[in-house]
Amino acid sequence: MKAILCTKYGPPEVLKMVEVEKPTPKGNEVLIKVNATTVHIGDTKVRRLEPGLGPVKDFFFKPMMRIMMGFKGPRNKILGMELAGEIEAVGKNVTKFKIGDSVFASTEFKLGAYSEYCCLPEKAAIAIKPTNMSYEEAAALSNGGITALIHLRKANIQKGQKVLIYGASGSVGTYAVQIAKYFGAEVTGVCSTANLEMVKSLGADKVIDYTKEDFTQSSDSYDVIYDSVGKIPSSKRKKSLTKSGIYLNVFAVSGNIKMKVEDLNYLKELCEAGKLRTVIDKRYQMEQMVEAHRYVDKGHKKGNVVISIK
């Protein structure tokens, strides 16, 4: 089968398409024929060996990242954390899935989604794909969507509360706007000029163009501020919060995320009810993985970048 390998850390060009042995599922595993995967910031951080927490924190976290991921290159050389596809084979002990099921899944730090086939344990974060979504749309749900859901649940958002989503046009941000709105919040999205209308279309009640206005200089205050890109300066993080307001940073709480099948099914239900959709910025073929990583490295993607695997 074809797979994209990352044998060493570096720029997008370290990614190479090669032929590798097709995996065989163990007794508790399913074999998924991957139809779509994504390129998000987590993939590029692994490829670059850059935690992305800022110069000082990166200096201390890089050695830890090498221990976790591999010293000279990723231990799991096939990258990719999100996928959607069809169950092609099941192990003898599998009871939840059957051959032919259309699914979406997160491989988490097992990685492995940049390939034509991927084996995952039956108990991994795998769920039946939303019926009204393409494979490309569903693939992005399993990381970006679930990240937004878990983070916003921590805030225990109540109906009528004011919620600000910073980085509202990114992968996590586009889902966060919709989920916060579903929870009953009055949502303000912060993004660049080019993305204002798109964020409005997701249900944001107000939008702020960060290139023209600093939201912390306004008299408005919020019950929840969710920094979905981790870019609000620490000196400004609490300026616009109410007295009992909550600040959430996507990077500060990411380590506490545990992908659960129940959460994937919750997102599936929202999608099928028309309450949640995936924003796709660009689509690439598997052979264009280097180009896709170059694009994501620029840091200006709108929603998600998906890879079609045929």
Last residue of a domain, one of 254, 279, 294: 254
Whether 103 and 218 share a structural domain: no
Confidence of residue 54 (pLDDT cuts 50, 70, 90): low
Domain range spanning residue 161?
A: 144-254
What secondary structure letter does DSSP report for 56?
H
Domain count, the chain: 2
Whether 160 and 54 share a structural domain: no
Whether 131 and 277 share a structural domain: yes
pLDDT of residue 119: 98
Is residue 56's pLDDT more than 90?
A: no
pLDDT of residue 52: 61
Describe the crossing of helices 289-297 and 41-48 by its angle, rounded to 10 degrees: 100
Whether 263 and 233 share a structural domain: no
Whether 80 and 186 share a structural domain: no
DSSP string over 247-294:
EEEHHHHHTT----HHHHHHHHHHHHTTS----EEEEEEGGGHHHHHH
Last residue of a domain, one of 254, 275, 300: 254
Q: Any idea what the CATH number is for the domain that residue 101 is in? A: 3.90.180.10
Phi and psi at residue 290, to the nearest 5°: -60, -45
Distances (CA, A) of 255 to 51, 108, 258: 12, 12, 8
Whether 75 and 13 share a structural domain: yes
Whether 174 and 280 share a structural domain: no
Provide the token pair at 97: 């899935």
Is residue 55's pLDDT more than 60?
A: no
DSSP string over 213-257:
--GGGSS--EEEEEESSS-S-GGGTTTTEEEEEEEEEHHHHHTT-
Confidence of residue 49 (pLDDT cuts 50, 70, 90): confident
Whether 96 and 150 share a structural domain: no
Last residue of a domain, one of 254, 273, 295: 254
Whether 196 and 150 share a structural domain: yes
Give 199-251 pLDDT, tens digit per residue. Answer: 999 999 999 999 999 999 999 999 999 999 989 998 999 999 999 999 999 98
Whether 22 and 39 share a structural domain: yes
Confidence of residue 257 (pLDDT cuts 50, 70, 90): low
- As a whole number of angstroms, the distance between CA 177 and CA 29 comes to 35
Whether 222 and 285 share a structural domain: no
Q: Any idea what the CATH number is for the domain that residue 160 is in? A: 3.40.50.720
Calculate mean pLDDT across residues 145-154.
95
- As a whole number of angstroms, the distance between CA 265 and CA 259 comes to 11
Whether 118 and 43 share a structural domain: yes
The pTM of this model reads 0.93
